[in-house]
Structure 1
Amino acid sequence: MRKFRAAPALLGLLVAAIPVLAHHGITSEFDPTKDITVTGVLTRVEWTNPHIYWYVDVKDESGNVQTWRFQGGPPSMLHRAGFYKSDFKIGEVVTVSAKPAKDGAKLGFGTLIKYADGHKIVMDH
């Protein structure tokens, strides 16, 4: 009988641990030994957990626009650093520094956003 009382508790602990196990470090998707910098127009921000995302339209050498997606930390981390969704100015030119995706996709783990007027949003990972 004791086995059956412990089973629901054990199952509850396992289910509670799934989100923790599902979260991964940046090294699974990004190369922390490399840096990239792109300049373009900030077009969208997704202020969601567990990571925020922002999108920048960048012109390539031929003048074609390519959309880059950047991942940052959670909104709570940015709030603690004094940054809010309203600090991301859609339509403005930004320069983003990031760790590139390992697979070569137009994706990076953002470390810095710099606006033309000089103000910055620093991602403290």
Structure 2
Amino acid sequence: MMSPKSLIAAAAAVVLLPGAALAHHGWSSYDATKTVKVTAPLSDIAWRNPHGEAKLDYAGKTWTVVLAPVARMEARGLTQAMIAGGKPVTLEGYPRKDGVAEMRIERITVDGKTVELR
């Protein structure tokens, strides 16, 4: 028989896990018919999973830039140091369909090297 603490932990997992799954957006929220290509420095870089993120000033707004998972970026030759320091990078990706200032990045070019993220 489970202890009261174990029962509470199990109940919390049942309640919280579906919400966490829904909080992670699916790729269908991005408009793959509208490619965005912009060259600018990134800021607020978060090198984490389930995917990296950064900020970018573009078209008069601060955009959230959705990158790939850390292991994939590193396996393909992109490191956090390469995109840090305020140097310009070229990003190609898709904007959100709902108008939120966020883009899903397909490829990034830095120092003449293009890395496919998807």
Q: Does TM-score exceed 0.5, indicating one fold?
A: yes
Task: State the Cα distance separating 1:34 from its structure 2 match.
Answer: 2.3
Within 5 Å, give how 1:21-40 maps onto structure 2: 23-27=24-28, 29-40=29-40
Q: What is the alpha-carbon distance in structure 1 between the residues aligned to residue 97 and residue 76 of structure 2?
A: 28
- The CA deviation at 1:79 is 2.6
- 1:12–1:97: structure 2 CA closer, same or farther, 3 Å change rule? same
Q: 8 Å contact 2:63–2:102 — kept in the other structure?
A: yes
| Shift of residue 31, structure 1, vs aligned partner | 1.4
Structure 1 residue 50: Cα displacement: 1.2
1:121 and 2:115 aligned: yes
Provide the C-alpha distance between the structure 1 equivalents of 2:88 and 2:23, rounded to a whole number of angstroms.
35
Question: Which residue number in structure 1 is paired with residue 52 of structure 2?
Answer: 52
Contact 2:77 2:115 in 1 (8 A): no
Cα displacement string for residues 69-98 of structure 1 (whole angstroms, at most 9, x for unaligned residues): 210222122233232222213311122111
Instruction: Report the Cα offset of residue 15 of structure 1.
Output: 6.4
Deviation, 1:35, is 0.9
Distance in structure 2 (CA, Å) of the matches to 1:112 and 1:37: 10
1:17-44 alpha-carbon deviations (Å, 9 max, x no partner): 63556544211x2112321112222223
Q: Give the aligned residue type for 2:41.
A: V
d(CA) in 1 for partners of 2:84 and 2:23? Answer: 32
TM-score of the two chains, using structure 1 as the length reference: 0.67
Equivalent position amino acid for 1:33 in 2? T
Q: Structure 2 vs 1, CA of residues 113 and 12 (structure 1 numbering), >3 Å: closer, same or farther?
A: same
Instruction: Normalising by structure 2, report the TM-score.
Output: 0.70
Which of 60, 67, 71 is matched with 2:66 structurally? 71
Match of 1:3 in 2: none
Distance 1:105 1:22, change over 3 A: closer
Give 1 or 2 for the bigger CA radius of gyration: 1
Which aligned runs of 4 or more in structure 1 are off by greater than 4 angstroms? 10-17, 19-24
The SS at the match of 1:86 is helix
Matched, 1:112 2:107: yes
Identity, in percent, stands at 28
The runs of 5 or more residues in structure 1 that have no matched partner are 1-7
Q: Is the 8 A contact 1:53 1:71 kept in 2?
A: yes
